[in-house]
Structure 1
Amino acid sequence: MRTLLRLPSGLFIDGWHVLKELGNGGFAVVYLVEKNGLRRAVKVARHRQASGDDKQTHARLKRELTVLSMLDHPNIVALCGHGYAEAGNFYLALEYVDGWTLDEWKERKHPTFHEILRVFVKIATALAYMHSRGILHRDLKLANVVIRKSDCEPVIIDFGCATYEQAADLTESGLPPGTDRFRAPEQFTYLREHREEHRAKYAFQVADEIFAVGAMLYELLTDPRPTEERPRETLNSPFDPPTPPRARNPRVPEALGDLVESMLSRDPADRPVDTDALHRELAELEAHPGADYQALAHPPSEQRRPERPNVDEPVEQDAGRWSKLRALGGRVGAVVRRSGKRLAVGAVAAVVLGVAAALWLRPQTPESVVEPIGATSPTPPISAPDMSPLAPAPVVGTLPTPAPVSEEGSTVKTSPPEDPKEAPRQKTSPGSDMRKAVAVGCALAAGCTGVQLKPDPFTCPEGAVATRKELHWGDRDRFSVVLDDRYDREADVWLRAGDTVVGVVPEGVTPSQAKVAPPGTRFLGGKVYVWPEKTASGRPGRVVVKYERVKLPRQDEVPVCFVVDVGARELKDGAAKTANGNAGFVTDDWRP
């Protein structure tokens, strides 16, 4: 039985007074606590040692204790103590860093390139120190670096995925724990080449850590609003490098852009040889006196979230039209640059036709009124084709980015969409005419895709039919499942189109299901689709989640086709509200 530890403020953990919850993940909950005037961040394992803990969260937190006890560095979170909560759950008392995560700092402080480099020089220094002691963090990302408000020092946090030499292996999957967006491309190559070897384990290297730092730096240099949740260009496809930073943001100094490209190289040998070398390269750039390094990475206006548009002010509603067209042009240009090929004349004509139609359909807006690329607006962003390293085309039977294979120790949770009653909605989206026009051009170009809401028909990943037969599952057998294992079975959850979720079979299923898909069975690689089309029962739309792998208790992961297709209770901006406790069916193929 899963032991959830979610405490309200006012209670105590081994004498520590709980002030508030700071974050929670699948393996631990973090609280701000106080004792004798001292404030700490207490990280509590979700399970007790003797609770049948299949995730080994107790053991993982014990390993984090070992790792942190080996480290003493001003840019690494400090260990302050450990113990057991009243329920028997193990906890760590950590330094409380009052600050912003790296992406929040970027948006709030509007740093220059020099200030960003100063932060990454400190990060590289801490990593070099850590690696010299044989320790690998394995989950470096923007959310796991906090900029302390008092002195602007970066602090690396969350060592729940860390490991050290001779450490026991706590993960059953082929890849180590971590966050997919920041994984090095060679991890996905390994997974593809060894997918038939159930016991194969990827050996995480310093080169993987350097790639993750490069991905973090790339996000800050190219994305004005890295805290926003929206489709982003894949950084770690084994086949295709990302767009160069200077192509995404012309402000980026050339030498800095070149360094980031080398850190994100498909070939680990082309990256800095270790974090000592990385530190020297970053420090050299930090010392650069050029005016381009003193410039803001992004104008503050690009980082300010626009207010909800007023239906009585149509000019402001069109403010982002030009930047959206520029963004589309940039994506097309990036595809051309990466492929090294020229677009066919017909495709170019089609895109030009789409842009021309967009300009014709909408009145012109002054160039001075520009919405930054990636801004939040009622118009869904036009996303590039899925080039994910785990997309079904290049890697059969695996889940699309950014699905967390095993995000151990994460304390990040997704907030539901804003209340749809907060402001009136327009009958027509401000960018709808433009989207229709661009869609015409894309259709003619035969290869340009927008945000996908309705899922395409799909066939099973390789081996899924054999899995079904081996598990004695019949085509269209139905199983009870919790759609998103981060939330309780009884909860109503908001699922956003493009999200990836993990489903789990709850306790209390029927005896017939318990024989073939018992409690604790996990469905992995779940991709969410939100279909805004009224159902026959009167629901405003549908939620479709298709899972591509399954892991029964004490068994290896295997490919599968498992689909949940249910009515949505509410829709808002590409997200849908539905019951988390639901049912899905096994299938050999699926049609919407």
Structure 2
Amino acid sequence: MTTAHPLGFLRPGALIDSFRVVKALGEGANGMVLLVKRRGRRFALKLARCREVSDDVAKTNQRMTRELGCLIHLEHPNIIRARAWGHYPDLIGDYSYLVLDYVDGWTLAEWLEKVRPTFKQVAHVFMKLADALDYMHRQGVFHRDISLSNVLIRKDDGEPFIVDFGAGDFANARELTEGPLPPGTNRFRAPEAVTFWNEHRLDFSARYPFQAKDDQYALAVCLYDALTDAETAKDPEQRAARRITVNSPVMGPPPAPREANPCVPEALSALVAGAVEHDTAQRLPTLEALRGGLEALADPGGAEWEAPVFAPTVSAPRAGMSGRRRGRRRKVAAVGAVVVATVAAFALLRELSPTPEAPGLPAPESVPHAKAPDVLPPSRAAPPAAGVPSAAPVASAQKEAPTVSAPKPPQRQPTPEQPKPALRPTFTPEFLARCAGYTLAAQVAAGCPASQVRPEREACTAEAREYMSRLRANDDENLALLLDVNQPGFSSTYGVYRTGKYIGAIPRDRDILKKGWRVEGYLWTEGKYVVGRYTKVFPAPGAIDASGDPLPREVPICIVLGNDSRFEGLEKLEGSKPGAVVLRHQVIARYIYGEWTQP
């Protein structure tokens, strides 16, 4: 069974059964979306294909079948409708497809930036989305990837549509999840899901019990962003300020929207603060409560509700907002007959100004909280902007985690700095990787060390030097390195790190090394400098070296942090604490051919 890319022979004018291709709307890791016509009417055709990193064609088709299973249960004016489905080029062909209503519109992220809607317009859009999501749950369907990218706003009337059920689920659906969390966009996961991932990320048999409240929280985050983020559709590198963290169990709930954007009406700010509350006992209880609260507030309106959320010239609200505060209690009260959240006092929000970026890397956005990170799995690969009449790529800040979209409508106690040992520790990398996933209590029970002691010196192996030569990597040559793909740092400039094993990535093409290739390494954070050594790279399937010979799936390599050949290491940034070191998410590193050295 072939898995070749179908775009080469699906030119404009080609037929997929009775649907004539007009143009490609976009492409993602799991397929593509085409604008097609039948009897003069336009539709969006979502064509599945096996991911390049997978040889499981059957599972690719099963995911589309499950997406269809979600859609055939639903008939709501604000949810995309499926009109036909099949296989191409014949009934037992290689490619399964869905035909959906076509929406000529923007993603919600684009609409917020382009239209600059009023508070009343935003409220009415989210009233309809809350109603649609509530209806969906009553039919036994979960979307599981509600985000600013998976809502389309029709241009001619501003009507919203929930799209892209590629991560959806329904009662009795076949289990396709391959890890603790279902596919989704990390920013919009509920704090309970983040906590579950932190506790089970090394247990691939664990499964998070996704519930309606998870979809509800994701919609609340979309509304929070609509009120606090003036750059919803921008790439992270183009933003004037990083987005406020919303779902970190360590950092706690985000500040009320009015703290970030003083133009937000006070009652609306209280309602949304209750909707993104971390304590489920104090969180807004239902989607109907959110919908009713918006209706009760927006319909009477007032002058402040007719004002735009952000003026057209505004680029970002309060650059550097960290969202820190010393108090964190909010209580939910009633507005009329509807549940509305009121916000307890927030203490001082500290603004942290960015420090100069390392040469050749993007400018920083702002320094985040100096707290231990909530590690999250990588979001789903970015899909096409289906339903939007453009084949242009979608900004990663706007579209972080979908499959192909369907168109239309423990905190460790600080430990004293350890002296350099004369001998290497006896702990194996496998043992340490296992310990990295335990809470503090579990570490004690398992006999895991508080941190791996950094070895004094170690020569780069002859095998690693040989492969670096095959990769055209020169001794002391600098490169950009993404330290940890599991932190939600693809969309932020800074991360928080502790001693342990990490999976990083190459953030941009570099001769034979290509953007997205994973690298494995270890960071030591106890000393004056952060020392890091990345010793494996995982090329993409089919990758070749400088001579054209194929590369294995795992290649030994020697990469150290820092660009100073006199020693290895990076300085800790402002806000670092023992056990929680602040570093840039992308740093300068270098290849070495000799011995590791000490700072």
**Into which bin does the TM-score normalised by the smaller protein fall?**
0.5 to 0.7
Cα distance in structure 1, aligned partners of 2:282 and 2:166 = 29
- 1:462-481 CA-to-partner distances (Å, cap 9, x unmatched) read 744999xxxxxx99776999
Q: Quick one: which of 263, 270, 274 aligns to 1:262?
A: 274
Q: CA deviation at 1:286?
A: 2.0
Q: CA deviation at 1:497?
A: 7.0
Cα distance in structure 1, aligned partners of 2:194 and 2:467 = 31
**Residue 177 of structure 1: aligned partner:** 183
Q: Quick one: which of 282, 292, 301 aligns to 1:289?
A: 301
C-alpha spacing 1:80/1:499, structure 2 compared with 1 (3 Å): farther
% identical aligned pairs: 36
- Mapped pair 1:383 → 2:394: no
Structure 2 contact 120–301 (Cα < 8 Å) conserved = no
**Residue 186 of structure 1: aligned partner:** 192
Cα distance in structure 2, aligned partners of 1:562 and 1:175 = 28
Structure 1 contact 498–528 (Cα < 8 Å) conserved = no
C-alpha spacing 1:410/1:128, structure 2 compared with 1 (3 Å): farther
Q: Quick one: which of 319, 328, 331 aligns to 1:327?
A: 319
C-alpha spacing 1:529/1:187, structure 2 compared with 1 (3 Å): same
**Residue 42 of structure 2: aligned partner:** 39
The aligned runs of 1:39-438 (5 Å cut-off) are 39-47=42-50, 52-53=55-56, 56-86=59-89, 87-230=93-236, 231-240=242-251, 241-302=253-314, 327-328=319-320, 330-331=321-322, 334-337=323-326, 380-385=363-368, 393-394=372-373, 398=375, 403-404=378-379, 406=380, 414=393
Cα distance in structure 2, aligned partners of 1:217 and 1:416 = 19
Q: How does the TM-score come out when normalised to structure 1?
A: 0.61
Structure 2 contact 481–504 (Cα < 8 Å) conserved = no
Cα distance in structure 2, aligned partners of 1:546 and 1:56 = 24
C-alpha spacing 1:414/1:254, structure 2 compared with 1 (3 Å): same
Q: CA deviation at 1:292?
A: 1.4
**Residue 444 of structure 1: aligned partner:** none
Structure 2 contact 108–153 (Cα < 8 Å) conserved = yes
SS in 2 for 1:268: coil
Cα distance in structure 1, aligned partners of 2:300 and 2:519 = 49
Structure 2 contact 274–283 (Cα < 8 Å) conserved = yes
C-alpha spacing 1:416/1:215, structure 2 compared with 1 (3 Å): closer
- 1:173-227 CA-to-partner distances (Å, cap 9, x unmatched) read 1101111111111112112222453311001111111110111111111111210
Structure 1 contact 99–146 (Cα < 8 Å) conserved = yes
- Mapped pair 1:26 → 2:62: no
Cα distance in structure 2, aligned partners of 1:380 and 1:197 = 36
Structure 1 contact 185–238 (Cα < 8 Å) conserved = yes
Cα distance in structure 2, aligned partners of 1:131 and 1:119 = 19
Q: How does the TM-score come out when normalised to structure 2?
A: 0.60
Q: CA deviation at 1:5?
A: 2.9
> How many residue pairs end up in the alignment?
422
- 1:23-72 CA-to-partner distances (Å, cap 9, x unmatched) read 22222211111121111000111139xx9526812001111111111111
- 1:2-39 CA-to-partner distances (Å, cap 9, x unmatched) read 44332333322223111111122222211111121111
SS in 1 for 2:246: coil
SS in 2 for 1:176: coil
**Residue 10 of structure 1: aligned partner:** 13
Highest relative contact order (Cα 8 Å, sep 6+), 1 or 2?
2
Structure 1 contact 178–408 (Cα < 8 Å) conserved = no
Cα distance in structure 2, aligned partners of 1:462 and 1:57 = 35
SS in 2 for 1:269: coil
Q: CA deviation at 1:335?
A: 2.9
C-alpha spacing 1:475/1:170, structure 2 compared with 1 (3 Å): farther
Cα distance in structure 2, aligned partners of 1:399 and 1:562 = 23
C-alpha spacing 1:214/1:268, structure 2 compared with 1 (3 Å): same
C-alpha spacing 1:134/1:109, structure 2 compared with 1 (3 Å): same
Q: CA deviation at 1:416?
A: 9.2
C-alpha spacing 1:564/1:47, structure 2 compared with 1 (3 Å): closer
SS in 2 for 1:83: strand
Cα distance in structure 2, aligned partners of 1:213 and 1:71 = 18
C-alpha spacing 1:171/1:84, structure 2 compared with 1 (3 Å): same
SS in 2 for 1:327: coil
SS in 1 for 2:64: helix
Structure 2 contact 483–504 (Cα < 8 Å) conserved = no
Whichever structure has more helix as a proportion of its residues is: 1
- 1:214-243 CA-to-partner distances (Å, cap 9, x unmatched) read 111111111112100114332211111223
Cα distance in structure 2, aligned partners of 1:116 and 1:382 = 26
SS in 2 for 1:261: helix
Cα distance in structure 2, aligned partners of 1:416 and 1:266 = 28
SS in 1 for 2:21: strand
Q: CA deviation at 1:160?
A: 0.9
SS in 1 for 2:289: helix
Cα distance in structure 1, aligned partners of 2:248 and 2:148 = 20
Residue identity matched to 2:366:
S
Task: Flag structure 2 segments of 5+ consecutive residues without an equivalent.
Answer: 237-241, 329-345, 387-391, 397-427, 437-458, 469-479, 488-501, 522-532, 540-547, 562-588, 590-599
Structure 2 contact 385–394 (Cα < 8 Å) conserved = no
Q: CA deviation at 1:135?
A: 0.7
Task: Flag structure 1 segments of 5+ consecutive residues without an equivalent.
Answer: 304-322, 359-377, 418-458, 468-473, 482-494, 503-523, 550-559, 567-578
Residue identity matched to 1:288:
P
C-alpha spacing 1:252/1:45, structure 2 compared with 1 (3 Å): same
- 1:376-397 CA-to-partner distances (Å, cap 9, x unmatched) read xx98243222679xxxx445xx
C-alpha spacing 1:342/1:61, structure 2 compared with 1 (3 Å): closer
Structure 1 contact 161–408 (Cα < 8 Å) conserved = no
Cα distance in structure 2, aligned partners of 1:186 and 1:528 = 30
Cα distance in structure 1, aligned partners of 2:123 and 2:19 = 38
SS in 2 for 1:175: coil
Residue identity matched to 1:113:
F
TM-align CA RMSD: 4.6
